[in-house]
């Protein structure tokens, strides 16, 4: 039997396993898998390597007026499997500009770290941009990298729930001093990560963006993403023309905005008592209940989260005890 092929003549049976298992996803990343042709104009090829923030940055740069680059969508690095490495390396070898987040070498035991991809893209101009995490609007929120540690309903832990599961006292009421402490800690931590990685700095954009700084701890809002895109453009010597696309780029999940945070950051906006997930409201109480039950069954995860958040908890007035 003749192997099935797509319109570019690609033999679908030769695709990596993840692509064969989900052809709609494979076509979404069509250029990456060779199911769609690469851009045929004369502009240099840009690759943006990283997590969900990477794709938002790529879109802002690609769609910017006077954009001097052509780019393609590639899977976020945490989705890339071992048999997909040749797809990535082939593109890295031919790209002219590489933007990458700071990633440890040998990430997931694969050559996906910053230095790994930089070596493969030896002819490309490389710019590092930061992984943005900001707790100033969501002071009790924690996100973990391990899928085994992700709670149900939304992939974010609430430290109040985790403390309750551990049988520990709740944090004291959130006041202006606690909020300023945890916000300052979060911004300084980002600044240190930027400096260590030689990344384009964005930490100073967070306070200025006020309640639009972040939708969740790891999903920055449009003002921060657009500001980062313009700074990347400046670093590359490109026109600083990135603009807000008119929709929230990382808006699939919106965490609650609590009254104490609203009052301190921007009293003119509305409080958001519950979550919004894929456009649907989900009560904070239902998520807390589901996650408390989940945490009760996983004391090891509770210990990991509390250890990871030790400094955040201190900023919130929770002692080591």
Say how many CA atoms lie within 13 Å of 313 toward its Cβ: 21
* CATH fold for domain 12-128: Rossmann fold (3.40.50)
Is residue 215 packed enough to be buried (19+ CB in 10 Å), middle (13-18) or exposed (0-12)?
Answer: buried
DSSP structure class, residue 153: S
Residue 320 has a pLDDT of 62
**Using 50, 70 and 90 to split pLDDT, how confident is the model at 276?**
very high
- Angle 255-210-223 (CA atoms, 0-180°, nearest 5)? 90
**Residue 141 vs residues 22, 135, 233, 252: alpha-carbon distances, Å:** 32, 7, 31, 17
User: Residue 74 has which token pair?
Assistant: 């590639």
pLDDT of res. 224? 98
Provide the edge-to-edge strand list for the sheet that holds 70-71: 70-71, 45-49, 97-100, 125-128
Q: Is the pLDDT of residue 40 over 90?
A: no
CA-based max dimension of the chain:
71
Whether the predicted pLDDT of 262 surpasses 70: yes
Average pLDDT over residues 236-262: 97
- Whether the Cβ atoms of residue 275 and residue 282 lie closer than 8 Å to each other: yes
The domain segmentation of the chain, as residue ranges, is 12-128, 141-217+255-315
Whether 8 shows a pLDDT value over 60: the answer reads: no
User: How many Å apart are CA 143 and CA 188, to the nearest integer?
Assistant: 18
User: What is the structure's pLDDT at 3?
Assistant: 43
Residue 9 has pLDDT above 90, yes or no: no
User: Would the CA dihedral through 10, 16, 21, 22 be positive or negative?
Assistant: negative
How does residue 7 score in pLDDT terms, banded at 50, 70 and 90? low
- 10: pLDDT strictly greater than 80: no
* DSSP E strand boundaries for 223-267: 253-254
Residue-averaged pLDDT of the chain: 94
Location of structure tokens 């969900």: 52
Beta carbons of 140 and 172 less than 8 angstroms apart:
no
Q: How buried is 80 (Cβ within 10 angstroms: 0-12 exposed, 13-18 middle, 19+ buried)?
A: buried
Tell me the CB-side half-sphere exposure of residue 100, using CA atoms within 13 A.
24
Are residues 296 and 165 in contact, defined by beta-carbon separation less than 8 angstroms? yes
What digits encode the pLDDT tens for the residues 88-102? 999 999 999 999 999
Backbone phi and psi for residue 209, each to the nearest 5 degrees, phi listed first: -80, -10
Quick one: pLDDT at residue 5?
Answer: 57
**Residue where the block lists tokens 């076509």:** 27
Higher pLDDT, 108 or 214: 214
Kindly state the average pLDDT of the residues 255-262: 97
């Amino acid at each position: 039997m003749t192997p099935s092929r797509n319109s570019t003549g690609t033999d679908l049976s030769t695709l990596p396993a993840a692509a064969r298992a989900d052809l709609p996803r494979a076509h979404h990343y069509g250029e990456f898998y060779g199911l769609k042709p690469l851009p045929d104009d004369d502009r240099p090829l840009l690759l943006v390597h990283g997590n969900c923030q990477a794709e938002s940055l790529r879109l802002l740069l690609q769609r910017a007026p006077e954009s001097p680059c052509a780019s393609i969508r590639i899977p976020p690095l945490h989705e890339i499997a071992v048999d997909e490495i040749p797809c990535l390396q082939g593109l890295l070898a031919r790209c002219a500009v590489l933007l990458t987040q700071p990633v440890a070498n040998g990430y997931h035991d694969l050559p996906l770290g910053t230095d790994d991809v930089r070596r493969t893209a030896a002819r490309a101009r490389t710019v590092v941009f930061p992984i943005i995490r900001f707790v100033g609007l969501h002071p009790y929120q924690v996100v973990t990298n391990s899928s085994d540690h992700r709670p149900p309903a939304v992939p974010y832990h609430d430290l109040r729930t985790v403390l309750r599961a551990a049988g520990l006292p709740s944090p004291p009421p959130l006041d202006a001093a606690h909020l300023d402490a945890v916000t300052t800690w979060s911004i300084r931590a980002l600044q240190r990560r930027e400096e260590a990685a030689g990344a384009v700095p964005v930490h100073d954009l967070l306070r200025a963006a006020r309640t639009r700084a972040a939708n969740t701890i790891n999903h920055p809002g449009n003002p921060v993403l657009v500001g980062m895109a313009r700074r990347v453009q400046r670093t590359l010597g490109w026109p600083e023309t990135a603009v807000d696309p008119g929709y929230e780029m990382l808006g699939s999940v919106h965490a609650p905005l609590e009254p104490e945070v609203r009052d301190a950051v921007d009293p003119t906006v509305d409080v958001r008592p519950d979550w919004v997930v894929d456009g649907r409201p989900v009560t904070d109480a239902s998520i807390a209940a589901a996650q408390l039950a989940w945490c009760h069954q996983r004391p090891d995860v509770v210990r990991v989260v509390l250890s990871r958040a030790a400094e955040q908890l201190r900023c919130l007035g929770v002692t080591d005890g």
